[in-house]
């Protein structure tokens, strides 16, 4: 009976077919969890977090999606006209932590930072943030004179 084998140089069998399938499956599975598919790249694990920005007329709202985090995980800082939103989670990767019963832990370090330049239409002392259902919403109230007036224009 013939066994399917991968050959490294055309002459010497490298592995059995089942071993080859296991290796390919394992490599592709590892790549799925390690590559840029999840928004991470390399060892940095710096995440680019998408945002939506909404103009309500009286305020601008920045909606930042960040599921699985806690309210206290965020740092929202206003320095002059720069609004910075950041998060950092420490690396909890430890292959042998038998004192707690862990055999392998592969939590990755995650961090992000987004900076927005605010113009002079924002009421800086009234900026507020709220985290709910995996979305951080930062409200930037507009100054009275910056709020757009809305009216119908009659056509003659």
The answer to whether residue 29 is domain-embedded is: yes
The answer to whether residue 81 is domain-embedded is: yes
Q: What does each C-alpha distance from 6 to 13, 16, 22, 27, 82 come to in angstroms?
A: 6, 7, 13, 16, 58
The answer to whether residue 10 is domain-embedded is: no
Q: Quick one: 88 and 27 in the same domain?
A: no
Confidence (pLDDT) at 43: 45
The answer to whether residue 20 is domain-embedded is: yes
Confidence (pLDDT) at 61: 96
Number of domains in the chain: 2
Contacts for 47-56: CB closer than 8 Å, 24+ residues apart: 47/110, 47/111, 47/112, 48/112, 49/112, 49/114, 51/114
What pLDDT, in 10s, does the model give residues 11-62? 555 556 666 556 655 655 555 555 444 444 444 445 577 899 999 989 999 9
The answer to whether residue 94 is domain-embedded is: yes
Domain that holds residue 64: 51-146
Q: Is pLDDT above 60 for 94?
A: no
Q: Is pLDDT above 80 for 130?
A: yes
- Provide the CATH number for the domain around residue 97: 2.60.40.790
The answer to whether residue 154 is domain-embedded is: no
């Amino acid at each position: 009976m013939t066994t399917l084998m991968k050959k490294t140089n055309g002459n010497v069998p490298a592995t059995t077919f089942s071993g080859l399938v296991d290796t390919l499956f394992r490599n592709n599975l590892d790549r799925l969890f390690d590559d840029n598919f999840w928004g991470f790249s390399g060892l940095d694990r710096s995440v680019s977090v998408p945002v939506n920005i909404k103009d309500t007329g009286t305020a601008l709202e920045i909606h930042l999606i960040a599921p699985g985090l806690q309210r206290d995980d965020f740092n929202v800082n206003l320095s002059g006209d720069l609004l910075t939103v950041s998060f950092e989670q420490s690396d909890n990767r430890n292959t042998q932590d038998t004192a707690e019963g862990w055999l392998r832990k592969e939590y990755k370090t995650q961090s992000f930072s987004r900076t927005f330049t605010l113009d002079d239409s924002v009421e800086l002392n009234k900026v507020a943030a709220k985290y709910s259902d995996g979305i951080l919403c930062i409200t930037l109230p507009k100054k009275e004179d910056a709020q757009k007036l809305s009216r119908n224009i009659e056509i003659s």
